Amino acid sequence: MSKLLKIELKKINLKSQIISLLAMNCIVLLLSIFTSTLLANPSEGTPTGVAMQLTTSELALLITRAVLIVWQSILIVQIIIEEYKTKTITVLFTYPYSKKQMILAKFLLVFLLTAAFAVFSTVFQEISIYLLSRQLTFVTFMPESLWSVVIVLISNICLGFLPLFIGMRNSSVIATIVSSLVIVVIGSNSQASPSGLLGIPVVSLFLGVVSLILLVITYRSMLVKEI
């Protein structure tokens, strides 16, 4: 499996991914701070409502979760969908590995990369905002339960595989990306919670389990799919 992961990893420009990840985190941090500034000094007629309940750290995590779901869908496109769309996946099937191993290696690579990006982003945002909150009054930090963060993180990664189920219907790149955006819009809905639906551990866990079931269905269909 490790050899397969190395083969798949070579298809990704990891350096550009890391640079993009750093840039994304800086943008999310600045956006969260800027929003906190506006909320701390609301102008007349500016709606506050639920947004006022969000601390800077919660807002940063909300945005980070949304971005990572879309990011994961892009990885899915690069590692899986495009190869099926262009039929270059057939080259892999000539390797001395079973079809099951190759597909599972792709799934595992997407999971590991997204998990690594998610852990880094969460730690980066939490530490940065904590340090800034000690210097800037409008930057607010609220520590979250480690178990809650872990459950939400893993569940969101599982949910991030849902676009694969949709995209593999017709090996569609557009359907994969658009479905991830739809998930972000629905998951970031603040009616149920200021931090969005995806920030609620129970809801996030339920959606993650559903996505895993659909992932298994997708995996089985990929095993019998004619290229």
Query: For residue 150, what are the CA distances in angstroms to 7, 73, 122, 200, 213?
Result: 29, 20, 10, 12, 20
Give the total number of structural domains in the chain: 1
Please give the residue range of the domain that contains residue 8: 2-224
pLDDT at 120 over 80: yes
Give me the phi and psi of 178, to 5 degrees please.
-65, -40
End-to-end Cα separation, the chain, in angstroms = 23
Q: Do residues 149 and 115 touch, judged by C-beta distance below 8 A? A: no
pLDDT confidence tier of residue 95, bands split at 50, 70 and 90: confident
The encoded tokens of residue 67 equal 């971005």
Give me the phi and psi of 181, to 5 degrees please.
-65, -40
pLDDT at 85 over 80: yes
Mean pLDDT on 114-135: 92
Quote the CA–CA distance of 106 and 63 in Å, as a whole number.
26
Q: DSSP letters along 203-217, please?
A: HHHHHHHHHHHHHHH
pLDDT confidence tier of residue 50, bands split at 50, 70 and 90: very low
Q: What pLDDT does residue 117 have? A: 94
- Structure confidence by residue, pLDDT tens digits, 174-223: 999 999 999 888 877 655 555 667 777 788 888 889 999 999 998 888 88
pLDDT at 41 over 80: no
Mean pLDDT on 93-107: 82
Cβ atoms < 10 Å from Cβ of 128: 21
pLDDT at 49 over 60: no
Q: What pLDDT does residue 171 have? A: 80
The encoded tokens of residue 19 equal 């640079």
Q: What pLDDT does residue 128 have? A: 92
Query: For residue 99, what are the CA distances in angstroms to 10, 85, 104, 222?
Result: 19, 17, 9, 9
